[in-house]
Amino acid sequence: MTNGTSVRVVAAGDHFILPSLIREALDHELPCTTRELKLSWPLTPFGPVAEVTEASDAEDELIEALTGAQVLVTQMGPVTDRVLEACPDLKLVVVCRGGPVNVNLDAAKRHDVRVCYAPGRNAAATAEFTIGLMLAALRRIPQAHDLLARRSSWEGATYYTYEHSGLELEDLPVGLIGYGAVGSRVARVLCAFGARVMVFDPYVQGEIHGLRVPSLDELLERSHVITLHARLTPETHGLIGARELALLPKGSVVVNAARGPLLDEQALCESLETGHLSAAALDTYVQEPLPPTSPLHALADRVVLTPHLGGASRAVAEKAARIAAAEVSRWARGEPLAHCLT
């Protein structure tokens, strides 16, 4: 809270959520003095930094930029114990993503720093991307493109044979594991396609789009496509492994644009190799970037692989900046924060 004085903010953006987007959103909300810092993500992959995960390796740059600042707005800035200790003026951190995995929350509490985040910023983008992955895997679109555009080959016409042609969404039993902000949007779109949507989510009550299924096993046994939308927790880590994949009907398709560790990649590869699964479409992986040694690369004719692009839309960056700026404005006016964890 600033008692009417201008708020001193560091906009530690990157090549996706640009520092200028954050500054413009802040200028629309409140009087502030903004210093811009541009981190290297996604041109340089994120990773663990000290005790936090999924951050840019930029502690020194962040400490320097935060000199005298009260507020940090960032997506990938590493808000570690070291950074917090070195920045005694810092009072508020707003993370422009669905969860503050780049912030040491315990250290923030010790230093009396409030931590906020931007839930729902990429729900629409990720849902749309999930549908795109599903269609690409079902109809072999990337493989056909590669043959024709890159190899000048009409071989992709074999996908018009009965044996190799794909599945259509209309009347297809599709199982959703998780029915949060992304899963619920995917369900609505699938219903519009005419898919037979089934949902397993023990934490969601009330009406849903589709048929609620009481157990994960039943969902798997009845689905020809499954798409993962659960949050990654100790409970859901490795949720879909060899046993679960074996429950799917032969020729099924797996889609994961949520979090890589929800799915046992080795078990997935084995199921694809044996032909039990016909295809998979993945945007997230156990290890990111996906290692060149991953067996997924050898399955290019059966997989669609994208480098964690589900939330990559300009609207997401703009929404995140606006959500963050609104939270800074609430803090400056002494109002309750909307999305605060500490």
Count up the domains in the chain and report the number: 2
Fill in the DSSP letter of residue 158. Answer: G
Report the run of H or E that residue 152 belongs to, with start and end: none
289 and 318, same domain (yes or no): no
Q: Is 97 a catalytic residue?
A: no
Q: Which long-range contacts (CB under 8 A, 24 or more apart) does 267-271 make?
A: 267/240, 267/241, 267/242, 268/240, 269/295, 269/296, 269/299, 270/242, 271/242, 271/245, 271/246
Tell me what pLDDT residue 342 has.
82
* 55 part of a folded domain: yes
Of 60, 170, 185, give the one whose Cα is nearest residue 126: 185
Give me the catalytic one of 259, 302, 322, 339: 259
191 and 109, same domain (yes or no): no
218 vs 175: CA distance, rounded Å: 10
What is the identity of the amino acid at 162?
Answer: Y
* 97 part of a folded domain: yes
* 191 part of a folded domain: yes
46 and 167, same domain (yes or no): no
61 and 83, same domain (yes or no): yes
Q: Write out the E strands in the chain.
A: 7-13, 32-38, 47-49, 52-55, 71-74, 92-95, 114-116, 173-177, 196-200, 211-212, 225-228, 252-256, 277-282, 303-305
Give me the catalytic one of 218, 270, 288, 318: 288
* 48 part of a folded domain: yes
* 186 part of a folded domain: yes
* 341 part of a folded domain: no
Q: Is 170 a catalytic residue?
A: no
Q: Is 24 a catalytic residue?
A: no
Domain CATH code at residue 38: 3.40.50.720
The answer to whether 108 and 126 have CB atoms below 8 angstroms apart is no
* 232 part of a folded domain: yes
268 and 130, same domain (yes or no): yes
Give me the catalytic one of 23, 82, 302, 308: 308
pTM of model > 0.85: yes
Tell me what pLDDT residue 3 has.
56
230 and 248, same domain (yes or no): yes
60 and 159, same domain (yes or no): no
Q: Which residues of the chain have pLDDT under 70?
A: 1-4
138 and 44, same domain (yes or no): no
106 and 161, same domain (yes or no): no
Tell me what pLDDT residue 262 has.
98
**Token representation of residue 219:** 């969902």
* 2 part of a folded domain: no
Report the run of H or E that residue 323 belongs to, with start and end: helix 314-332
22 and 60, same domain (yes or no): yes
278 and 138, same domain (yes or no): yes
301 and 328, same domain (yes or no): no
Domain that holds residue 149: 123-305
